[in-house]
Structure 1
Amino acid sequence: MTRSASQAAAAAAPAKASSASAPARSMRRQAVVRLGDLDLAPENLRHGEAPDDDIPQLADTIAAAGLLQFPTVRPGRRDEAAYMVLDGRRRLLALRLLRDGGLIDDDHSVEVFVETDRARQAAAVVLTNTAAPVHVADVIAAIGRMLRERLGVKVIARALGYGEVEIRRLAALSKLPAVALEALKAGKITLRQARLLARLKNKAQQVEMAQGVLDGHGLAEWRIQEQLGEGRITDRDPRCGLVTPALYAAEGGRTEADLFGEMPPVLLDPEALTRAWLKRAAEIAAPFEAEGLTVHLAPDDEGMELPEDLEQLFYAYGGLSDEATLVYHEARDRTQAAAEAVAATEPEAPDAARAGGLETFVRARIAQDQAGAGQRLATVLVMKPTLRTGVEVDCYGPVEAEVDPVRSRGDEAGETDVEKTESPGRAMARSAYAPPRARAPAPEVDGVSHVLHATRTDMATRGLIRALADAPEVALTALIARLFGAVAIWPSIGRTEAALAVTASIFNPTGGRIVEALDGAVRERLDERRRAWEASGLTIIAWVHAMELGDRLGPLAELTALSLDLREDRTSLVRKAARTEAAEIADLCDADIARWWTPDGAYLRPHSREQLLTMLEAMGAETEAPARMRKGDLVAWTEDQAKARTWAPACLSWRLALEDADEAPDEGGRR
């Protein structure tokens, strides 16, 4: 091809510059030229230099993945080639090396950027890269092609000028499905989100989530985080408060570092971690066992069976005299000081120094619990792992006197429940005061299986979650009430007696299912707030405190709503007290699950055919033809009818029926 023909072909070549950088290339066009029409411009800063040793490796990468970054050229002048390379000397040398090896010839097509403006030509000589920057998605795809051509990580790193660790990270991303890389290149997900997606082991799930992003649904990061967190043990495990990495490794423990350096290392051998913790805890327990105390080591969360004639020693608010209370406070202060001293001890400190601090802490804790129990004698210690001090200590002593369980708060029908103790033989005194209790709708249990009852209360919980999330002022009321019941009342109101699970535990959906319109919508809001916090660079406290008072009500409502847990797994496990709280909250929220959700297939399938037909009758839909349908078709029909009518079953509402709500309060102040 002659010089003029080559230039004509270049002029006719369509421009392929990306729209994102088009304004920066107003004086440049993209063209396809022959390799034989390219030569190095004399004004190139490295003109005349000999090829460096890495040119063959660069040639290998170009052969495997093509040119990732197009050379910048200018039109040739008199006695010059058709196009002279201003930026891309090494790429031209690598292409010529491939030509000399017979892999390509002078007619090989090379995409270039043609600079016609003299000022920009000068800039291209000084700035080594004036072409469009390569998108990281293209680099990832190219590295995948190089790896398939069996090029090593070191070779790729030297050829592209990346560190080996970075190449390994990009290689991991290259295993993402094509739809995920497409979403990355389109700007639908960030590189951080791509790394998060790459950690999923299930390829089908990767494709599903990436396609959802392209369809405009966004990436539900919390779903990935939840899966990644399942079964993972990191250095934030409580046992690591006493076990150093060296002790863990000495027990044969293996550690897997996060390739991307964004998540804590994973401890692969929990048994080795437990063995190491038990050895260290046994050393701490030895002096106390020598003094006649019985010490039990509990390295995990599983309950420990203790003799029935023992009860835990603890401080009962209002149960001591003023003098005894002062003694307890002094003992508590000494325990806190000892705990802070242990927590401040460097991991590199000698074992003797750390062991001495732990012994002081344990003795202070024993003194505190004995003072809190009116100087009763501790005879049994239970040591559990904790991250801050290495061990946490619970003290037990003989039961002084049998305490008859008192009757708990009665319901509106005059019924009473016997208060159940935390463990056999450990009866706990209850306050004689029985506060009023609001009325709640009676559960439907006749003819209802345990599975169906669990399904209904599960879905009703989700509905109230959505209602409470949209009513911040009600959420504030519910949260303050729950905190007051858990902290200010002694004995505190137990978990099963309350509607709100304010123990920093989130509502755990059955089978991991999220209902997008209900609890899923609330989770998405919190996910957006989490990202805003990460972008702020502040601590959580500082970030929240910087909000206006009114702005804090939103996250408070969402966090409080997701702590709701009113699920009942069996018809025989009706949580009466929690139901009364739920009824009050639902009334204050004006809760109506049908505003956001109508029965779907997952909810309807556990119902029998008769129950489905009853639903159709309740919503005013036809029942004669559906009665002849198969179960699967009946479920689909019921779902469509409920959606068309914006209808949800009454059993999913925590609100009282109208006739019950109109009843007057009884003599005890209960409605």
Structure 2
Amino acid sequence: MTTSVKLAKLTLSPINVRKRPDDLLEIPQMAADIEARGVLQNLLVTPLKKPRGTFEVFDGGRRLRGLRMLVERGVIDPETYDVPVKVLVGDEATLSETSTAANFHQLKMTPAEECRAFQYFIGLKGDIDGVAKRFGLTRRFVEGRLRLATLAEPIFEALSEGSITLDVAKAYASTENQEKQLLVWSSYGSSYSNADTIRRVIANETMNSTDPVAILVGEDRYAEAGGKVDRDLFSDSGDKWVNPEIAQRLAADIMEAEAKRVGEELGLGWIRPIASNFTHSAAAGLYRVILPAPELTEEQETRLEEISARQQAISEEMADDSIGEDACKALDQEYDALTDEDYAIRNVAPTLPDELRPQVGAFLKLTPKGAMVLDTEYYSEEPVRVGGTEDEAKEGEDSVTIGRPTGGGREGAAPVPRPEAVAPGGKPLSARLYDELAMQRRDVLAATLLSHPALALDYALFVMIDDRMSSSAAYGSTIRARSPQDPVSGELPSTRARAYLAEAHDGLDAVWTEHSSEVERFEAFRALDDDGKAAWLAYIVAMSLEAPSYRADQCPLQNRLATIMGVDVASWWRPTSENFFDRVSKGSILTLLAEVGGAALTARHATMKKTEISQSCAKLFAGEAIVEPEVRDTALAWVPNAMRFRDQVDVDDLDLEEGAGEQPDDAETVDAVEASETGLEPHADEQGALAA
């Protein structure tokens, strides 16, 4: 029987199947909906014997709680409010089963359906706040569902069909740019990718609103210049600025203007703005000007003596056990104040002489909070003498600051590095990095050789036989029972080739190795089928390959193997922060970016910190960054010269630049040490620091 009952006559039945705490039942949302539209669905109740005329609600507990919340707020009167109910009579088991069925067969709307529904409501009334209030939801929740409507059609259809999760859909919806959504969808939509991956790829070519550059520019100025903002309604990490190049250009203009103003005000030779809080990379090749501390005046020296005497007296007074607690505390505070005064007198900032101002400069930094701050250090492009005379300079007086340019070579011509030992931009790789890359290149060759057992057999037989006939041949193999002596010891960065070799070993038929004697193992090995033996042969030959060291040339025989097998190094090895980008200089990386994507790609990274550039390049060269197709293809195909098999590439085709004959970085480090002994500190770049 369907009827209506006064709210005051209803109580919650203990057989109601919903047992979760009220704070998990979203009661405020239910109350808001009832306030806006009333009770839309009958409550299932059963009559109580006492008190007469009352009922227990065994299905509809959330609605009952929502009604009671409205009573607490004074919205409705329980004595007069009619609640639609359906009255059922039965034993507890029957009523509990009915409650279970009513809840079990409820089917919630999908996020896509919620999106379409909210979109319809907003389209009719255009009031997001009103809709949110009537449904008991936050404005952010409604806006989040509406944002799903901006999904490109294939992505929205996938959400509707349940092919992707709501979290993944939210990741795509973190940008309103459907072209960018589809670009990512084409790469990641057909395979399983989690929401974090999608969000990271989409955000890779945007700027976070919390970035120092964004804070400096301000959203209003950015928007006036034509910049677009993606409101990220699904995280608290800040909105995304779709046009970071606009923000960077505006920030450059702001900092250039401020640098000009500060330079004119202070009379310095130059002020260089950098969109970073760190000057190390920007100061590479410059000389840090070390100013002598100013001499103390007679008054200051007298005051320091007075401070010392008073502190001694205070110490003696505090050593007296009869002194009171308040007096001791006052003396302690006085002692601390005197200490601060002493420090202030002794640590007066040195003054830059007026005659030196046109010869030196400073950096205008950008703090993490987006504030422009002038660095307190002064730098010069040439050695600068601060006070003193030439004779004092020769005697090494402290008042003289002089040095040599960073990167100056020793007397005599520096050895020209081999083409494959040169990084983009012409700077030599460090010996350690070159050796590691040689070992990783060897692993690529070995991994490819596993699928060519016939070639491995030819190679092994040739090496073993030819070794008997020639004592000076270089085979690049230890098939003669020697273990390879790698040029670098310790753990290397993980690569696909190394992982594949480990998997191949685990997949070998190794039952024959379990026998105790050599004869038993030999007979068991003979019992293997041809494929099993071929797999072992290929693995043993592959694991015998040697990696040439920094001082040795590549092995021609290994290069020929690579040509025969058509080894695609790029498919086996990709540059990462760990195995490459953290190991070369910022200048080399920027040169590489210019080769791959032109000046625009370089400018996008020029103001980044070294670690940020490294991480960004790792994504770009792994194919995870959103870039033009031709840039993506070029990046995915690139490998450093040290990873190439030179039998496949002529020397003329290698990435060489002017300056490839520069001496290795360890020589630069020596020069930096020698220069620092004079009192001036030239800043070596990251490559020199690595070589050190």
Task: Give the TM-score range, shorter chain.
Answer: 0.3 to 0.5
TM-score (norm: length of structure 1): 0.37
TM-score (norm 2): 0.36
